[in-house]
Structure 1
Amino acid sequence: MKLGRGAVAGVLVALLALLAGTAVVAGPAQAATGVGTRAADGAEVVSERWSWDLRELTIEIRSPAVGRTLPVKLIMPVGWSFESSRRWPVMMMLQGGGHDDYTTWGAKTDVDALAKKWQVITVFPEAGDNATYTNYFNGGRFGKPAWEDFHTQEVLQILQKTYRANTNRAVAGLSSGGYGSMIYAARNPGMFKYASSYSGLVTIRLPIIRWAAFFASRDADPSRRFGVPFVNERNWELHDPLYMAGNLRGTGIYLSSGYTGIPAEDDTVAWSPQQFAEPIAATLSIALEKKLNALNIPVTVHYYPRGEHQWPSWQRELHRSWPLMMQAIGAGPNP
């Protein structure tokens, strides 16, 4: 393979940075950079950091929607460059809550190696500790943090403006990220061609789940997120994938979960309280599946008898759903 001057320079910079023990801060074609790129609301890329192989890029976006500077990890396809006339489809991966962040997918699964085999820009945006995937209600005033606006407006606009992304997109997430993938697709019809949920909490208004969603917030005031249950019911409805299921028409859907929580052979935890989350997630996914069937909206499901609410299960489901998502967004394997 013959390398252009920009690529050769990038490799040399990467090697020198490794020898010096510093981070790589410049990518393919050294004169080009996405720093300074702005979304419509003023969100701005303030830094870039490339990996040694010039395939992984972490950008930091100063977000008016959230009110913080947030990292976003990108994996670029073979042949990508700032100057390319080509644009690539986007695969957005959403984290779970708790201790997850934008790096956890890459740390816990082989998604990085998988993504590098395909002609797709894979995106891992930070979602915060709560991973709530909503614009906060804030007593009806809305405002910060507006996570939905960060993910579906600021990040996607910046990717299109400078990082050679097109409008063919898929989204996938685990646990609360599975909720995120479904609600983003439902609230933004046509934005995503495919949405996958792995052990996702895909409805928030069923009995018990409603109150769990309310009190699970780490905010001092749990009503900030969706409002008070039953009192601010309209806002809860508009953020419930089950209620909004009709808007999923035209989007490919994948729902998966274990239905017992019994450990599978490759599970690394013999017993965990999280095992109880799997039957709950299955119950919620089945409810959404039934609603989609009633609406004649196609959905692919996979419910498995063994597997905890843990990463080995989500690794398996990632590989099951990946070809479906790549086909939907027109992303082929590397030549």
Structure 2
Amino acid sequence: MRADMQVRVLPARDPAAPHPTLYLLNGAQGGFNDSSWFDQTDIVDFFADKNVTVVVPMGGTASYFADWIRDDPVLGHQKWATYLTRELPPLMDSTFGGNGRNALAGISMAGTSVLQLAEQNPGLYRAVGAYSGCAMTADPMGQAYVRLTVARGGGNADNLWGVASDPRWRENDPYINAERLRGTSLFISASTGQPGQYDTISGPGIDGNIGELVSRIGVGAVIETAVRRCTVALRSRLTSLDIPATFRLPPAGTHSWPYWQDSLHASWPQFARALDD
């Protein structure tokens, strides 16, 4: 992408032996402003005893981690798919002793991206985790959600996949292209948007801040309600195609990091089995 890229890495427990790699993508803020897996979750402690390299690419604000069709006046030259799938894995494997077996997981915006990257690069990822992402990008509601996310980062989604009628919106729709997920171990989660166990004044990430609590219960609830719709639709789609997938759909929870940490913990045993096969 014509730039120096920042990557945060947790080396495997036994770096001398070949081992798999788990890529964790941040959300629409790109991991900045204390919004990364390192800042908001327990990945350092959780993976301390596990023989897997954990890679967290930084950046990608409002990019959908895609190769954009043209440069954006604000977001610039975006070729995230090329970077993540062609350039970064060989470097990580050679530097940290990877064995070529990869898993990929992401939250929110990246919960869409991980499905797209898996569909467009068959065989690169043995397992994929999509936490609170919307798998539908081409229908009017899905496209509106993408455009809003990109606009919040200052970008113009016409530079991502073109105008509303451009076929690239359908080409990048994980729901429409779900057949391409066959053979990948899938773990997909979304809550309802209803306040859950972490949405309290003393909850993690709130820590007594009433403004943060109001934001999480308000904005976080609305976003999670929307992605729940997409997730339930994807479950029906995969079922109709007879493609196995694990769905975690708790009855309460907002669009926030404590629930994504829970989803990562819940999905890891499935990832580990896929990476060991």
Shorter-chain TM range is: 0.7 to 0.9
**Aligned equivalents of 2:129 and 2:10: distance in 1?**
19
1:180 to 89, 93, 113: 113
The C-alpha deviation readout for 1:233-270, integer Å capped at 9, x for no partner, is 2x1122111122111110011111112x1211222425
Q: Using the aligned pairs only, state the percent identity.
A: 25
- Structure 1 counterpart SS, 2:20: strand
TM-score (norm 1): 0.72
1:227 to 162, 176, 180: 162
Shift in CA distance, 296/220, structure 1 to aligned 2, threshold 3 Å: closer
2:142 to 209, 213, 223: 209
Are positions 1:285 and 2:231 aligned together?
A: yes
Any residues of structure 2 matched to 1:30-41 within 5 Å, and which?
none
Range with greater deviation from structure 2 (94-103 or 152-161):
94-103
Greater helix content: 2
**Structure 2 equivalent of residue 135 of structure 1:** 67
- 8 Å contact 1:256–1:302 — kept in the other structure? yes
| Alignment-mate amino acid for residue 5 of structure 2 | L
- 8 Å contact 1:214–1:229 — kept in the other structure? no
Are positions 1:74 and 2:9 aligned together?
A: yes
How much does 1:219 deviate? Answer: 4.5
**Structure 1 equivalent of residue 40 of structure 2:** 108
**Which stretches of structure 1, 4 residues or more, deviate above 4 A after TM superposition?**
none
**Structure 2 equivalent of residue 255 of structure 1:** 188
| Alignment-mate amino acid for residue 91 of structure 1 | L
**Aligned equivalents of 1:103 and 1:198: distance in 2?**
15
Are positions 1:315 and 2:261 aligned together?
A: yes
**Structure 2 equivalent of residue 163 of structure 1:** 96
**Structure 2 equivalent of residue 21 of structure 1:** none
**Aligned equivalents of 1:137 and 1:279: distance in 2?**
30
Superposed CA RMSD: 2.0
Listed as ranges, the gaps of 5+ residues in structure 1 are 1-65
Greater RCO, 1 or 2 (C-alpha within 8 Å, sep 6+): 2
Any residues of structure 2 matched to 1:25-64 within 5 Å, and which?
none
- Structure 2 counterpart SS, 1:286: helix
- 8 Å contact 1:202–1:242 — kept in the other structure? yes
| Number of equivalences | 256
| Alignment-mate amino acid for residue 302 of structure 1 | R
| Alignment-mate amino acid for residue 138 of structure 1 | R
How much does 1:224 deviate? Answer: 0.6
**Aligned equivalents of 2:155 and 2:35: distance in 1?**
26
How much does 1:220 deviate? Answer: 4.8
Shift in CA distance, 185/313, structure 1 to aligned 2, threshold 3 Å: same
Are positions 1:240 and 2:186 aligned together?
A: no
- 8 Å contact 1:95–1:131 — kept in the other structure? no
| Alignment-mate amino acid for residue 110 of structure 1 | D
Are positions 1:96 and 2:96 aligned together?
A: no
- Structure 2 counterpart SS, 1:78: coil
How much does 1:128 deviate? Answer: 2.1
- 8 Å contact 1:211–1:229 — kept in the other structure? no
Larger Rg: 1
The C-alpha deviation readout for 1:65-115, integer Å capped at 9, x for no partner, is x221111011111221xxx4x321011101011363497111111112111
